[in-house]
Amino acid sequence: KHFDIRDWGSGNIGFANVKRVLGWKVSLPVLVADTFKAFLPVLVAKLYLGEPWGIVCLIAAGIGHAWSLYFFIAEGKFGGGKSVATLFGGILALQPMLALAVLCFFLAVLVVFQYLSLASITASVFALFFSFLLRLGTVWNLALMVVALMLLYTHRRNIGRLIQGTEPKFNEKRGAHDSNEEAVVAFVVHPLDFSDFSQSRLSGWIPKLISKRILSERTVNRLLTKGAVM
């Protein structure tokens, strides 16, 4: 379509944002490509090197999708997607039954709540639970724990929007790719007082912890500087 998808919608390069901005026709090839970029190499690793190397390849594919070397080489900084489809493709190559169970759970959450991010996060946690249930072993338990932590990290902003109630639903449309309209936005910048954090559900816990002396104002300032608190 001759434009950078990162300038539209959520700015993500994955299936969900492409679907919201451009629709199914363009997003389905993205979904297939993201899935097979892990499915094929993981399957090859499993067949020729064994399942442990397949698991290593699965984790590597997820990391490579979320923090792409292509963007680092081209632009000097890492970028990528959320790795949901990629990690699913790798699990599908190694444990088809587990992948099917996770997919069913994912679709159920998506149908009920209409949030793709919520379905992805809860499905990753469910995969870990199902691994214990099926007794897949310590290696799989550790691998799926890494997968769950990875998806929690790549969805950290989505989690904040879910808490605040601003997360877009799956079928919600975002900025059209052929629009030439510009949005002009003005901000009033003023120093924050710690009591201001109580205005948001995401940060409402901060003044309470400060008042109970569980957190110091100095610690909160450090968190803000590091970007850990939104």
In the chain, the percentage of residues whose pLDDT exceeds 70 is 84
| Distance between first and last Cα of the chain | 34
Q: Is the pLDDT of residue 153 over 80?
A: yes
**Does residue 111 carry a pLDDT above 50?**
yes
User: Residue 81: its pLDDT value, please?
Assistant: 87
Residue 178 has what pLDDT? 42
- Which DSSP letter does residue 177 get? T
Mean pLDDT of 8-32: 87
Q: Is the pLDDT of residue 144 over 90?
A: yes
The C-alpha atoms of residue 230 and residue 176 are separated, in whole angstroms, by 28
Other beta carbons less than 10 A from residue 16's beta carbon: 24
Question: What span, in angstroms and rounded, lies between the C-alpha atoms of 172 and 23?
Answer: 11
Mean of per-residue pLDDT scores for the chain: 84
Band (pLDDT 50/70/90 cuts) for residue 187 is low
The yes-or-no verdict on residue 181 having pLDDT over 50 is no
DSSP 3-state of 79: strand
The count of other CB atoms within 10 Å of the CB of residue 42 is 28
Question: Rounded to whole angstroms, how far apart are CA atoms 67 and 61?
Answer: 10
- Average pLDDT, stretch 18-39? 91
Radius of gyration of the chain (CA): 20
Q: Which residues pair with 79 in a beta bridge?
A: 68
Q: Is the pTM of this model over 0.85?
A: no
- Report pLDDT digits (tens) over 52-98: 999 999 999 999 999 998 888 888 888 888 999 999 999 999 999 99
Q: Does the pLDDT of residue 201 top 70, yes or no?
A: no
